[in-house]
Structures are given as C-alpha cells and as structure tokens.
Amino acid sequence: MSEAMESILDARLGANLTALGWSADLSVVRTASPTAARGHNLIVIAPPTPAYATPIVAGALNPLLNAPPPHRRLVVVAGSESIQEWADVFRGLCRDLPLRILVADSLGRAASELRLEWAGVLISTVSDAVELQKQSALKGETIGGIVLAWPEYQDEADLATFMQDAPKEAQRILLGTSPNAVADLGERYTRKALSIAFPGTEAQAQPIKTRTAAVAWNRRIPALRDLIASVEAKSVVVWTVDTRLHDQIRAALTGTTPSAHLTTTADKPAELVLAFDLPTRADLIQLGTAAGRKSPVLLVPPGTERYVRSITSERQAIALPGFVGRLSTEIDRRRQTIGQQLDRSSLELGLLALTPLFERYEATEVAAAMYELWVDRGVSATTPPPTPVVAQPTSAISTRIWIGVGRKELAQPGDFVALLTRELALPRASIGRIDIRETFTLLELSSDTDAVRVAAGLNGKLIRRRKVVARVDRDGVKS
C-alpha cells in the first residue's frame, strides 16, 4: 500500500487487500479506497462481478474498525444469485478482523441476528432488505453505509422503497455497468458522489468472438475443470480479477492436462483462455488477442447475461459436459411436462399477461424467467397441470390513472413508485400494475385509494425532467 493510503486505511484492511492481489498502483484502488474510507459517496463503473468491489468496500469498512458504534453496519443490496459470492468476497477481506458477515438467506435468522449488537456487514436482496425494514429488524440508525450492487438489474420498485427508509447520512456506494445505466439512479440515491471507472470499462465494444458457459457463481471452479477436460488445448490460462480464489482453483485443477496458468493479466497467450471473472471491454479485447485463433471462454453466472451481450456481439454457447450429464434426465422430464401443457392449452390468458414483457425483453429471457419461477415453486415433472387462472371481471379492476410520460422519456416503474411513495405518501400496497407505453403510462391503484387526489397530486411533478400531466382513466376515457 502507498503511504497516503496507509495513513487513511486501517493497516489490517490494507494488508488483506494486498494479500488478495490488489495493488495501490491501480488507479481505481489508489482513488476509490481512500475516498470510501473518508465516508464519501461513490459511483463505481465495473463489470457485474463482486470481486471488482473489493478495494471499494475495503474503504467502506474502515469506519467500522475505528471506534464504531455498538452495531454499525454496511448493508450490501445485491441480486439473489450473487449474495453468497459477496459473502466470500467479504470473508477474504475481513480475515482475522472483528467484523461479522451476515447473509440474509433466512429472514427469520437474519431478523434475530440484526437485533443483536454487532458491527459488520449485512448482505441481502433488495426485497429481503425491505422486509427486514418492515419487521423493524433493520433499523436506520444501525446503517453506516449502503452498497447498491448493479441496481440496474434489480427491482426498481423495491429499491425505491428500501432507499426511502434508508438514513440520509449513510454513505452510498453505487456499482453500475456503465454511466448511462445508472445515471438516474445515481442522481436519486448518491448525492455529490465521486464517479470512478475501472480501466477499460469505457472502451468501445468490439465484434470479438467469444464462447460462453452459463454456470452458477458457486459452480465456477468445477466448471473450469469440466472445460479443460472437454476442450482440446496444449496450453491453458485462467484469468481472474484478483488472487482471492487462486489457491482453491489450483487445488481443483490439480491433475488436469494440460496444467493451467493462473493470472490477473489479460494478455497471457494460450490455446484455451478462460475468463473466470467477467472482463471489462478492454480486458476482453486482450483476452481475445491472447486466445489467438480460438476465441476466449467466458463463465457467465445468472444475472450477468445482459452485460455479456453488451461487450460482445458474437457468442457461441458451450454446454458443460459434467453439469449437463448430471441433469439431462430431469431436464428431459421438465421439457416433456412443458410440452404437454402447450399441447393441451390455448394459452390466450398467458400470452395476454406476458405480451408487455416481450416489448422489453427477448422471448427466450421471459421463458427462462418463467421456468425459474416454476422450478422455485417446487413444480416437478409429475405435478398435475395447475388450475387455469380465471380473469377478473371488469368491475373488480382497480382504479387507473393516465399519466402523460412513457417509454419515450425512458420512464421506469421505479420512477412512479418513488414519486407516489415519497411525494404523495401513498402506501406501496396501494400501487398496482404500472403499464408503461410509448407516450403515456397507465397506473393501477387499489379500489380504496382516492384516485382523484392522487392524479391531482401528480400534476406538475417531474419524472425524467418532464412535468407530469395525470388524469383518472375511466374505461379508457381520461377525465
């Protein structure tokens, strides 16, 4: 660590950061760590891999080690798929330090733990964080800092609710994939923030051919072994952001032929180049050059697909042989169940419900999300088809408000939720479906809500820098 950083950053945190392979010679470390340690707000542009946040959260942890209040905490709000990966990042960074790390994977246990006095880190999805707030387990006075991990991929409505109850004086650190992706979120949640980008994030996307392997965060190390076994190559390089998992990777790859060279430099040439972490655009260009005639392989965890599409336009999916072999029988059964449903049902109601999503996402992404919801609810191949959902009669539909702001102004559901809950003090439960069209939005409210008052309150407010015009919508007629 540099002398300037040593004077600000706790020596134990600095030592752990250095042990993980982070050098003060890297500009983002030299700038971000001390800035975060001073308690300033930050916007950091980086690929959606928790490892990139290590030097930033090291600084944010600094106040917790220097005479912290009895139970001051850093709260990390992340996607459900990556919260365990975040926990691993903090375990490496907080090694031998008196800081606790709590993952809110069980709301009951998390609520009990939060009522105790301890300093450390809470890692949670945004929906679980909102629930912990409702239970008065996560209290504002205990929150010293908030890390919003790639919020452009999270539920904006829940995010607005969580941040509404967050203390104004708490430090805010926002991680995003690009300045454009988090511009509005940054204005809303990180006042007077210093913006920092990892080197290479600003590079232009190149038509680099890549191979991608979809794999869970906690399956990435076994996936490396499967890839080396299935792809013929005389030399192998595994690229990572830092050295945090190098010992585990070496142990897992013992005995593979050829043996793999681990590096944090993206320009090491090899016949098979594996990107264990997601690269910046500039690093991807270097990885492509290092791979030569054969394209590099990117491990793509859930929730990062959109980022991967943004940095490369030519992708070839690789099916991991070990993973596919273990699950092929169950997958075939599930396909058969879905096919039976397609054969027996006309699906008009389902198509009506999903059509608005097809306007915002690719059909394959919508289908994959529906599949995950189906699996999460414990549906198996032997489960009988669900009872068809009966559409509500028109009389049961909530009151609607027509608002003259839509997709043309880049409006998002979170914009409306934030305005209604903050400016009009409307309960989140009163807000129903938000149907954003090209030039306007239809907002449903619960039947016991005074829609006339809400429409009047919305008039003249700003959404995406445009003054709102709102009227109660009755049977499609604005009034």
What residue spans define the domains of the chain? Answer: 3-197, 209-318, 323-376, 394-478
- At 312 the pLDDT is 87
pLDDT digit string (tens) for 292-333? 888 999 999 998 998 998 898 788 888 776 554 544 555 666
Give pLDDT, residue 105.
Answer: 87
Q: What's residue 155's pLDDT?
A: 85
The DSSP code for 103 is E
Distance of alpha carbon 347 from alpha carbon 425, whole angstroms: 39
- Region 36-59: mean pLDDT is 95
CATH of domain 3-197: 3.40.50.300
C-alpha atoms less than 13 angstroms from C-alpha of 143 in its C-beta half-sphere: 27
The alpha carbon of residue 49 and the mean position of all alpha carbons in its chain are separated, in whole angstroms, by 9
For all residues of the chain together, what is the average pLDDT? 84
Overall pTM > 0.75: no
Query: Of 198, 187, 150, which is closest to residue 41 (Cα–Cα)?
Result: 187
- Residue 29: is its pLDDT beyond 90? no
How many percent of the chain have pLDDT more than 70?
Answer: 84
pLDDT of residue 388: 38
Nearest CA among 281, 309, 265, 279 for reference residue 206: 281
Q: What is the dihedral of CA 74, 78, 80, 83, to 10 degrees?
A: -50
Q: In CATH terms, are 3-197 and 394-478 the same topology?
A: no
At residue 389, the pLDDT reads 36
Residue 31 has pLDDT above 50, yes or no: yes
364 pLDDT tier (thresholds 50, 70, 90): low
Burial 326-358 (b: 16+ CB within 10 A, else e): eeeeeeeebeebeeeeeeeeeeeeeeeebeeee
CATH class of 394-478: alpha beta
On the question of pLDDT at 283 being above 60, the answer is yes
Reduced to 3 states (helix: H, G, I; strand: E, B; else coil), residue 409 is helix
Q: How far is residue 463 from each of residues 162, 367, 370, 458, measured CA to CA in Å?
A: 19, 31, 31, 10
Greatest mean pLDDT among 111-115, 291-295, 471-475: 111-115
Determine what percent of the chain falls in helix, strand and coil, rounding each to the nearest 5: 45, 20, 40
* pLDDT confidence of residue 45: 96
- String of b and e for 101-138 (b: at least 16 CB within 10 Å)? bbbbeeeeebbebbeeebbbbbbbbbbbbbbbbeeebb
> Average pLDDT of 375-389?
45
Render pLDDT for 326-363 as a digit per residue (tens, 0 to 9): 445 556 667 777 777 766 665 666 766 776 676 666 66
Residue-level pLDDT at 347: 64
Q: In this predicted structure, what is the pLDDT of residue 383?
A: 41
Q: Quick one: pLDDT at residue 361?
A: 65
CATH class of 209-318: alpha beta
Residues 6 or more apart whose Cβ sits within 8 Å of residue 295: 208, 209, 210, 211, 288, 316
Can you name the residues that pair with 209 across neighbouring β-strands?
A: 314
Instruction: Give the pLDDT confidence of 125-164 residue by residue, as tens digits.
Output: 999 999 999 999 999 999 999 999 999 988 888 899 999 8
Per-residue pLDDT, 424: 87
pLDDT, residue 101, reads: 95
| pLDDT at site 288 | 93
Output the CA–CA distances (angstroms, integers) from residue 278 to 17, 86, 273, 441, in the order listed: 20, 15, 13, 36
What is the average pLDDT across 60-76?
A: 83
Nearest alpha carbon to residue 225 among 207, 210, 213: 213
Task: Give the type of residue at 124.
Answer: S
pLDDT at 479 over 70: no
Mean pLDDT, range 273-292, rounded to an integer: 94
Taking CA atoms, 392 is separated from 349, 389, 443, in Å, by 11, 9, 17
Determine the pLDDT at residue 175: 97
Report cis status (omega within 30 of 0) of the bond before 258. Answer: yes
Residue type, 72: R
List 436's β-bridge partners, or say none.
441
Residue 411 CA, chain-centre distance (Å), reads 20
pLDDT tens by residue, 388-421: 333 333 334 468 899 988 887 778 888 888 888 8
Residue 101 identity: I
> In the prediction, which pLDDT does 397 show?
46
Token representation of residue 288: 């492509």
CA dist., res. 11 & res. 62, Å (int): 10
Q: What is the mean pLDDT of residues 375-400?
A: 47
Strands 441-445 and 399-403: antiparallel
- For residues 146 and 170, the answer to whether their CB atoms sit within 8 Å is yes
